[in-house]
Structure 1
Protein backbone atom coordinates (compact mmCIF):
# COMPACT_ATOMS: atom_id res chain seq x y z
CA UNK A 1 0.00 0.00 0.00
CA UNK A 2 2.89 2.32 0.74
CA UNK A 3 4.23 1.94 -2.81
CA UNK A 4 0.87 2.89 -4.30
CA UNK A 5 0.71 6.00 -2.12
CA UNK A 6 4.29 6.87 -3.07
CA UNK A 7 3.57 6.49 -6.79
CA UNK A 8 0.37 8.55 -6.51
CA UNK A 9 2.13 11.26 -4.50
CA UNK A 10 4.93 11.37 -7.09
CA UNK A 11 2.47 11.63 -10.00
CA UNK A 12 0.37 14.33 -8.35
CA UNK A 13 3.48 16.27 -7.34
CA UNK A 14 4.59 16.28 -10.98
CA UNK A 15 1.12 17.43 -12.03
CA UNK A 16 1.24 20.11 -9.34
CA UNK A 17 4.56 21.37 -10.73
CA UNK A 18 3.23 21.46 -14.28
CA UNK A 19 -0.06 23.12 -13.34
CA UNK A 20 1.62 25.71 -11.15
CA UNK A 21 3.96 26.73 -13.97
CA UNK A 22 1.13 26.99 -16.49
CA UNK A 23 -1.27 29.93 -16.21
CA UNK A 24 -4.15 27.94 -14.75
CA UNK A 25 -4.75 29.99 -11.57
CA UNK A 26 -6.62 28.07 -8.90
CA UNK A 27 -7.16 24.92 -10.98
CA UNK A 28 -3.61 24.00 -9.99
CA UNK A 29 -4.72 23.68 -6.36
CA UNK A 30 -6.53 20.42 -7.12
CA UNK A 31 -3.43 18.33 -7.97
CA UNK A 32 -1.50 20.18 -5.26
CA UNK A 33 -4.08 19.19 -2.66
CA UNK A 34 -4.06 15.59 -3.84
CA UNK A 35 -0.26 15.53 -3.83
CA UNK A 36 -0.15 16.84 -0.26
CA UNK A 37 -2.77 14.30 0.85
CA UNK A 38 -0.95 11.36 -0.72
CA UNK A 39 2.40 12.57 0.62
CA UNK A 40 0.97 12.69 4.14
CA UNK A 41 -0.51 9.21 3.71
CA UNK A 42 2.84 7.93 2.46
CA UNK A 43 4.67 9.47 5.42
CA UNK A 44 2.14 7.91 7.80
CA UNK A 45 2.57 4.44 6.23
CA UNK A 46 6.37 4.67 5.89
CA UNK A 47 8.82 3.30 8.40
CA UNK A 48 12.03 4.88 9.68
CA UNK A 49 14.40 5.81 6.88
CA UNK A 50 11.84 5.44 4.05
CA UNK A 51 10.38 8.85 4.87
CA UNK A 52 12.96 10.92 2.98
CA UNK A 53 11.34 10.86 -0.50
CA UNK A 54 7.78 11.58 0.70
CA UNK A 55 9.09 14.54 2.73
CA UNK A 56 10.77 15.97 -0.36
CA UNK A 57 7.60 15.49 -2.38
CA UNK A 58 5.58 17.15 0.38
CA UNK A 59 7.99 20.09 0.45
CA UNK A 60 7.71 20.51 -3.33
CA UNK A 61 3.91 20.35 -3.14
CA UNK A 62 3.74 22.94 -0.38
CA UNK A 63 6.07 25.25 -2.32
CA UNK A 64 3.84 24.85 -5.39
CA UNK A 65 0.79 25.76 -3.33
CA UNK A 66 2.53 28.86 -1.94
CA UNK A 67 3.57 29.84 -5.48
CA UNK A 68 0.06 29.39 -6.90
CA UNK A 69 -1.66 31.21 -4.05
CA UNK A 70 0.88 34.03 -4.23
CA UNK A 71 0.50 34.28 -7.98
CA UNK A 72 -3.27 34.36 -7.66
CA UNK A 73 -3.31 37.03 -4.96
CA UNK A 74 -0.48 39.27 -6.12
CA UNK A 75 -0.77 39.32 -9.90
CA UNK A 76 -3.81 41.14 -11.23
CA UNK A 77 -4.99 40.63 -14.79
CA UNK A 78 -5.59 43.97 -16.44
CA UNK A 79 -6.83 44.78 -19.90
CA UNK A 80 -5.19 47.90 -21.27
CA UNK A 81 -6.67 49.80 -24.19
CA UNK A 82 -4.14 50.11 -26.99
CA UNK A 83 -4.41 53.72 -28.10
CA UNK A 84 -2.33 53.29 -31.26
CA UNK A 85 -4.52 50.43 -32.44
CA UNK A 86 -7.67 52.45 -31.79
CA UNK A 87 -6.19 55.39 -33.72
CA UNK A 88 -5.23 53.13 -36.64
CA UNK A 89 -8.73 51.69 -36.67
CA UNK A 90 -10.26 55.17 -36.90
CA UNK A 91 -7.84 56.19 -39.66
CA UNK A 92 -8.61 53.03 -41.61
CA UNK A 93 -12.35 53.76 -41.43
CA UNK A 94 -11.78 57.30 -42.65
CA UNK A 95 -9.63 56.08 -45.55
CA UNK A 96 -12.26 53.52 -46.50
CA UNK A 97 -14.96 56.22 -46.51
CA UNK A 98 -12.79 58.44 -48.72
CA UNK A 99 -12.21 55.59 -51.15
CA UNK A 100 -15.94 54.85 -51.31
CA UNK A 101 -16.70 58.51 -51.92
CA UNK A 102 -14.10 58.58 -54.70
CA UNK A 103 -15.62 55.49 -56.27
CA UNK A 104 -19.09 57.03 -56.08
CA UNK A 105 -17.73 60.21 -57.64
CA UNK A 106 -16.14 58.24 -60.48
CA UNK A 107 -19.39 56.33 -60.99
CA UNK A 108 -21.37 59.57 -61.12
CA UNK A 109 -18.90 61.06 -63.61
CA UNK A 110 -19.24 58.04 -65.91
CA UNK A 111 -23.01 58.35 -66.00
Structure 2
Protein backbone atom coordinates (compact mmCIF):
# COMPACT_ATOMS: atom_id res chain seq x y z
CA UNK A 1 0.00 0.00 0.00
CA UNK A 2 2.86 2.36 0.84
CA UNK A 3 4.46 1.82 -2.57
CA UNK A 4 1.25 2.71 -4.40
CA UNK A 5 0.83 5.89 -2.36
CA UNK A 6 4.52 6.69 -2.93
CA UNK A 7 4.12 6.31 -6.68
CA UNK A 8 0.97 8.45 -6.74
CA UNK A 9 2.62 11.12 -4.58
CA UNK A 10 5.60 11.29 -6.93
CA UNK A 11 3.42 11.44 -10.05
CA UNK A 12 1.20 14.20 -8.70
CA UNK A 13 4.20 16.15 -7.39
CA UNK A 14 5.74 16.10 -10.87
CA UNK A 15 2.39 17.19 -12.32
CA UNK A 16 2.25 19.97 -9.72
CA UNK A 17 5.68 21.21 -10.79
CA UNK A 18 4.71 21.12 -14.47
CA UNK A 19 1.34 22.83 -13.92
CA UNK A 20 2.89 25.54 -11.75
CA UNK A 21 5.40 26.33 -14.51
CA UNK A 22 2.69 26.57 -17.16
CA UNK A 23 0.37 29.61 -17.33
CA UNK A 24 -2.70 27.83 -15.94
CA UNK A 25 -3.45 30.16 -13.01
CA UNK A 26 -5.41 28.44 -10.26
CA UNK A 27 -5.93 25.23 -12.22
CA UNK A 28 -2.47 24.24 -10.99
CA UNK A 29 -3.87 23.89 -7.47
CA UNK A 30 -5.65 20.67 -8.48
CA UNK A 31 -2.51 18.52 -8.84
CA UNK A 32 -0.85 20.42 -5.99
CA UNK A 33 -3.69 19.56 -3.62
CA UNK A 34 -3.72 15.95 -4.75
CA UNK A 35 0.05 15.71 -4.31
CA UNK A 36 -0.25 17.22 -0.83
CA UNK A 37 -2.92 14.68 0.07
CA UNK A 38 -0.88 11.70 -1.11
CA UNK A 39 2.27 13.08 0.53
CA UNK A 40 0.45 13.41 3.85
CA UNK A 41 -0.89 9.87 3.51
CA UNK A 42 2.61 8.67 2.70
CA UNK A 43 3.98 10.50 5.72
CA UNK A 44 1.39 8.81 7.93
CA UNK A 45 2.10 5.33 6.47
CA UNK A 46 5.88 5.70 6.72
CA UNK A 47 8.02 4.68 9.62
CA UNK A 48 10.38 7.12 11.31
CA UNK A 49 13.38 6.26 9.09
CA UNK A 50 11.28 6.63 5.92
CA UNK A 51 9.81 10.07 6.62
CA UNK A 52 12.52 12.11 4.90
CA UNK A 53 11.22 11.64 1.34
CA UNK A 54 7.55 12.43 2.13
CA UNK A 55 8.67 15.58 3.89
CA UNK A 56 10.61 16.66 0.82
CA UNK A 57 7.56 16.00 -1.36
CA UNK A 58 5.46 18.12 1.00
CA UNK A 59 8.04 20.90 0.80
CA UNK A 60 8.03 20.80 -3.01
CA UNK A 61 4.21 20.95 -3.06
CA UNK A 62 4.17 23.87 -0.64
CA UNK A 63 6.77 25.66 -2.76
CA UNK A 64 4.70 25.08 -5.90
CA UNK A 65 1.57 26.42 -4.22
CA UNK A 66 3.39 29.56 -3.07
CA UNK A 67 4.76 30.03 -6.59
CA UNK A 68 1.31 29.65 -8.20
CA UNK A 69 -0.30 31.94 -5.64
CA UNK A 70 2.38 34.57 -6.22
CA UNK A 71 1.98 34.29 -9.97
CA UNK A 72 -1.78 34.66 -9.67
CA UNK A 73 -1.67 37.66 -7.34
CA UNK A 74 1.29 39.65 -8.64
CA UNK A 75 1.41 39.09 -12.39
CA UNK A 76 -1.31 40.92 -14.24
CA UNK A 77 -2.21 40.08 -17.83
CA UNK A 78 -2.36 43.07 -20.13
CA UNK A 79 -3.98 43.20 -23.53
CA UNK A 80 -2.57 45.85 -25.81
CA UNK A 81 -4.12 47.15 -28.98
CA UNK A 82 -1.97 46.44 -32.02
CA UNK A 83 -1.95 49.70 -33.97
CA UNK A 84 -0.44 48.14 -37.10
CA UNK A 85 -3.18 45.54 -37.26
CA UNK A 86 -5.90 48.17 -36.78
CA UNK A 87 -4.45 50.30 -39.60
CA UNK A 88 -4.17 47.25 -41.82
CA UNK A 89 -7.84 46.41 -41.14
CA UNK A 90 -8.92 49.91 -42.13
CA UNK A 91 -6.79 49.82 -45.29
CA UNK A 92 -8.19 46.42 -46.23
CA UNK A 93 -11.76 47.71 -45.85
CA UNK A 94 -11.00 50.71 -48.01
CA UNK A 95 -9.41 48.53 -50.69
CA UNK A 96 -12.41 46.21 -50.62
CA UNK A 97 -14.78 49.19 -51.07
CA UNK A 98 -12.73 50.45 -54.01
CA UNK A 99 -12.77 47.02 -55.64
CA UNK A 100 -16.55 46.76 -55.19
CA UNK A 101 -17.01 50.23 -56.70
CA UNK A 102 -14.83 49.22 -59.67
CA UNK A 103 -16.84 46.03 -60.16
CA UNK A 104 -20.12 47.97 -59.97
CA UNK A 105 -18.76 50.55 -62.43
CA UNK A 106 -17.94 47.83 -64.99
CA UNK A 107 -21.45 46.43 -65.02
TM-score (normalizing by structure 2): 0.88
Structure 1 residue 5 and structure 2 residue 5: aligned? yes
What is the root-mean-square deviation in Å for CA atoms of aligned residues? 1.5
Deviation at 1:54, TM superposition (A): 1.0
Name which of structure 1's ranges 94-103 and 83-92 shifts more when overlaid on structure 2.
94-103
Match of residue 89 from structure 2: 89
Distance 1:24 1:38 in 2: 22
Match of residue 17 from structure 1: 17
Q: Alignment length, in residue pairs? A: 107
Distance 1:26 1:15 in 2: 14
Deviation at 1:102, TM superposition (A): 2.2
Match of residue 79 from structure 1: 79
Match of residue 104 from structure 2: 104
Residues 40-94 of structure 1: per-residue CA shift (max 9 Å, x gap): 2212221122112111211111111111111111112222211111111001111
Moved over 4 A (4+): none
Distance 1:104 1:38 in 2: 72
Unmatched tracts of structure 2, length 5 or more:
none
Unmatched tracts of structure 1, length 5 or more:
none
Match of residue 44 from structure 1: 44
TM-score (normalizing by structure 1): 0.85
